[in-house]
């Protein structure tokens, strides 16, 4: 998987994040089944629980654009620590991605780590669990 285009899209989205409270800006970009790249950035809110993560924004953009499945995703954050998707975003990604879907974690200097969704969310609950 070539993550260069995803990195560029996430890097362009990251400075647009609305993060006046944490000042922690995150960008994300995903490659969808329709071949399009959908970016997202975090959007905070004074009522903290109603903010949105960058991954959630990218997923919403994908659905609005007509995509239905995530083929790869990249998350870009600041600082020295890896900025992996939070637990809620791991589950959001799971709704639209297979366990083997690659997830790249990047900083402003480039990709720092790669995981599969199964590595980040083992023994996950997904759409197949609800089918009889």
Annotated binding site for Zn(2+): 53, 86, 89
Annotated binding site: 42-48, 53, 86, 89
- Among the four given CATH numbers 3.40.190.10, 3.40.50.1370, 2.102.10.10, 3.40.140.10, the one describing domain 4-125: 3.40.140.10
Residue 91 CB contacts under 8 Å (≥ 6 apart), including other chains: 121, 124, 125
Residues annotated catalytic, as ranges: 55
Task: Say how far apart CA 80 and CA 132 lie, in whole Å.
Answer: 45
| Among candidate residues 105, 102, 101, 70, the one with its CA nearest the CA of residue 84 | 105
Domain spans of the chain?
A: 4-125
* Residue 2 predicted with pLDDT over 90: no
Mean pLDDT value across residues 1-10? 94
User: What percentage of the chain reaches a pLDDT higher than 70?
Assistant: 99
């Amino acid at each position: 998987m070539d993550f260069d285009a995803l990195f560029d899209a996430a890097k362009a989205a990251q400075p647009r994040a609305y993060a006046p409270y944490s000042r922690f800006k995150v960008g994300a970009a995903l490659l969808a089944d329709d071949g399009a790249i959908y970016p997202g950035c975090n959007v905070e809110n004074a009522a903290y629980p109603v903010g949105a993560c960058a991954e959630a924004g990218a997923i919403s953009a994908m659905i609005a654009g007509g995509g239905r499945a995530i083929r790869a995703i990249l998350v870009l954050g600041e600082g020295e620590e890896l900025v992996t998707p939070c637990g809620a975003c791991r589950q959001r990604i799971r709704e639209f991605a297979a366990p083997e879907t690659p997830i790249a974690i990047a900083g402003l200097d480039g990709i720092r780590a790669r995981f599969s969704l199964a590595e980040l969310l083992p023994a996950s609950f997904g759409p197949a669990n609800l089918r009889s």
